[in-house]
Amino acid sequence: MKITQVRLGRISTPLRVPFKTALRTVNSVEDVIVELHTDTGAVGYGEAPPTGVITGDTTGAILGAIQDHIAPALLGRDLDEFEDLTAAVQKALVHNTSAKAAVDMALWDLLGQKYSAPVYRMLGGARKNIVTDITISVNPPEEMARDARTAVQRGYDCLKVKVGIDPELDVARLAAVRQAVGRDIKLRIDANQAWNAKQAVRILNQMQEKGLDIEFVEQPVPAADLEGMQYVTRHADVPVLADESVFSPADALRIMQTGAADLVNIKLMKCGGITNALRIAAAAEVYGVECMIGCMLEAKISVNAAVELACAKKIITKIDLDGPVLCSEDHILGGAVFDEKNITVSDAPGMGIQGFVPGKVSYLD
């Protein structure tokens, strides 16, 4: 199976409501689509969103990285060179993890198709069903309470609550959400780097003293502040999960070796795809550190790839794969079934993606 064409396109998917974090506000999901065409007719699918505030990747950068650097390293090569192909993706240029992730997942899709096996089974096949949380955007407390109630009515029993815009409001935000949803709903929070270490400890301990029962806090302090992360991990009465602090397998190892966080968030867009995500999962198994699998604001192809990984690896115990359910439309055919919080992986060969609703992808060629 030889790679004959790397086809690129763009797809836009509207959100149900604007998505707001301490880092950005977005109204739609904008993705780059990658199709790896082969001489057998098989097509591998990949996708990458431009999350400039986290990865530094813009739409133009993702397209340019693939077109000018990654595609030339793959064209004409046989899938039997799989190890070398995945390495070529990572070595084609530095950074640009979203572009790498899109192409890496398309290669895994092709591998599964070639051997008629679902990717999650090739990687371990731990389970077929997972349950995701859903994100509550950061807003005034009463608006967040209303959004949390709506999420619970949709069947979600675990909410990821965004905080960090005007931190003085964060305790009130969580109190309003807890009051709205009752004690049986799990609440995890994501500050997206908004606090400093002492502020984080103060806010988190206030939340726990008020009995708000926070499961864990995601990325309380700036990504590069590993000492700050360690300080919060040691002093706050809430487990800490590293998100923006962990891009590469080396980042994950550093966090685990220094005890800078209790948990790590694997995202394909940060680590450059399934190949590196497997390395992070392996390190986490060695260190006994549980992982979350997360997503950016992404539609179904790349979140589907994350589902394949989550269904393969038991060390991934926390699921934040709500990209597709935050969208009001689905333009992608095949793949996992997203039935609100319940996600069922596809048993089709590869990743089970069958293409797009006609007219929804704007191809570059």
Ligand X SMILES: C[C@H](N)C(=O)N[C@H](CCC(=O)O)C(=O)O
Report the interface residues with ligand X, using CB under 6 A: 21, 24, 51, 135, 160, 190, 192, 243, 294-297, 320, 322-323
Give 348's DSSP letter. Answer: S
Options 20, 100, 160, 162, the catalytic residue: 162
Among 31, 47, 133, 243, binds Mg ion (CB under 5 A): 243
How near is the Cβ of 215 to ligand X at its closest, in Å? 14
Nearer to Mg ion, 167 or 350 (CB): 167
How near is the Cβ of 344 to ligand X at its closest, in Å? 19
104 contact, one of Mg ion, ligand X, none, CB 5-8 Å limit per kind: none
The strand order across the sheet containing 337-339 reads 129-131, 342-344, 337-339
With CA atoms as reference, report the closest residue to 340 among 103, 132, 83, 89: 132
Q: Which stretch binds Mg ion (CB under 5 A): 7-15, 86-94, 241-249, 277-285?
A: 241-249
The alpha carbon dihedral of 326, 328, 329, 333 has a sign of positive
Cβ 125 vs Cβ 136: under 8 Å: no
295 contact, one of ligand X, Mg ion, none, CB 5-8 Å limit per kind: ligand X
Burial letters 95-106, b for 16+ CB under 10 A, else e: ebbbbbbbbbbb
DSSP codes, 157-186: -EEEEE--SSGGGHHHHHHHHHHHH-TTSE
Nearer to ligand X, 111 or 271 (CB): 271
What gap in Å lies between CA 113 and CA 109, rounded to an integer?
A: 6
Q: Provide CB contacts within 8 A for 50, sequence distance 6+.
A: 30, 32, 57, 58, 59, 61, 62, 98
Q: Which stretch binds Mg ion (CB under 5 A): 47-55, 186-194, 300-308, 351-359?
A: 186-194
Nearer to ligand X, 52 or 64 (CB): 52
Annotate 128-158 with three-state secondary structure: CEEECCEEECCCCHHHHHHHHHHHHHCCCCE
Options 267, 270, 313, 318, the catalytic residue: 267
322 contact, one of ligand X, Mg ion, none, CB 5-8 Å limit per kind: ligand X
How near is the Cβ of 218 to Mg ion at its closest, in Å? 5
Residue nearest to Mg ion (CB): 243
Among 31, 218, 298, 322, binds Mg ion (CB under 5 A): 218
Helix and strand numbers (H, E) in the chain are: 14, 17
Known catalytic residue at 267: yes
Pairing of β 291-294 and β 43-48? unpaired
160 contact, one of Mg ion, ligand X, none, CB 5-8 Å limit per kind: ligand X
Known catalytic residue at 20: no
What are the catalytic residues?
162, 267
For Mg ion, the binding residues (CB under 5 A) are 190, 218, 243
